[in-house]
Structure 1
Amino acid sequence: LSTIRHMESQVKRLDKEIERMMKGFTQTLTSVKGIGPVYAAGLLAEIGDIKRFDDHHALAKYAGLVWTQYQSGEFEAENTSRMRTGNKYLRYYLVQAADAVRKYDTEYKAFYQKKYQEVTKHQHKRALVLTARKLVRLVHSLLRTNQLYIPPERRD
Structure 2
Amino acid sequence: MIDELDKQVEVLEGRIEDRVLESPAAQLLLTIPGVGQTKAAVIVAELGEIERFDTHKEVVSYAGLDPVVHQSGETEIHGSISKRVQARCAGP
| TM-score, normalised via structure 2 length | 0.65
Query: Relative contact order (alpha carbons < 8 A, sep ≥ 6): 1 or 2 greater?
Result: 1
Aligned pair count reads 84
C-alpha deviation, 1:29, in angstroms: 2.7
Please, what is the CA RMSD of the aligned residues? 2.7
User: Corresponding residue for 1:49?
Assistant: 49
Question: Where does structure 1 differ by over 6 angstroms across 4 or more consecutive aligned residues?
Answer: none
User: Corresponding residue for 1:35?
Assistant: 36
Equivalent pair of 1:63/1:88 in contact (CA under 8 Å): no
**Distance across 2 between alignment mates of 1:76 and 1:42:** 32
Question: Structure 2 counterpart of 1:76, which letter?
Answer: E
SS at match of 1:70: strand
Identity %: 30
**Distance across 2 between alignment mates of 1:67 and 1:18:** 30
C-alpha deviation, 1:22, in angstroms: 4.4
SS at match of 2:83: coil
User: Corresponding residue for 2:83?
Assistant: 84
**Distance across 2 between alignment mates of 1:12 and 1:63:** 28
C-alpha deviation, 1:62, in angstroms: 1.0
Please give the per-residue CA displacement for 1:92-141, whole angstroms capped at 9, x wherever unaligned.
Answer: xxxxxxxxxxxxxxxxxxxxxxxxxxxxxxxxxxxxxxxxxxxxxxxxxx
Equivalent pair of 1:68/1:83 in contact (CA under 8 Å): yes
In structure 1, runs of 5+ residues without a counterpart are 90-156
| TM-score, normalised via structure 1 length | 0.43
**Distance across 1 between alignment mates of 2:72 and 2:48:** 38
**Distance across 1 between alignment mates of 2:49 and 2:26:** 14
More strand by share: 2
Question: Structure 1 counterpart of 2:14, which letter?
Answer: K
Please give the per-residue CA displacement for 1:15-70, whole angstroms capped at 9, x wherever unaligned.
Answer: 112233445x441433527532x433332221111112222221111111112221
